[in-house]
A and B are shown apart, each in its own frame.
Chain A
Amino acid sequence: MTSAAAPARPPSRWRRFGPRRRLRSTPAGRVVIGLTFAVGFAAFNTGNNLLFFGWGLLLSSIVVSGILSEATLRSVTLSPRGAGEARARAGGALTFVVKNHRRLPAFAVDLRAPFEPATTAAPVDPARAFELRVPPGSERTVELRFAPKKRGVLRVATARASTAFPFGFFEKDKLVPLEPPLDVVVLPARVDVAAEARDLLARMGEAPARRAGPGDELFSLRPFRAGDDPKKIAWRRAARTGRLVVRETEAARSNDVILELCAAGAAAAAVDHAVDVAGSLAEDLLAAGHAVGLCAPGIASAPAPGPRQRGALLTQLALLDARAEKPPLPARRAVVVAVVAAGASPPPHAALVVRAERLA
Chain B
Amino acid sequence: MKVIISSQGHHEDDLVDVRFGRCAYFAVWDSNTNTFEFIENKGKSSDHGAGLAAAQQVIDLNGDALLSERLGPKAFRVLDQSGIHLYKCHGMTLRDAVERLKTHDLEMIKEAYR
A and B pair up: no
Residues of B within 8 A of A (CB): none
Residues of A within 8 A of B (CB): none
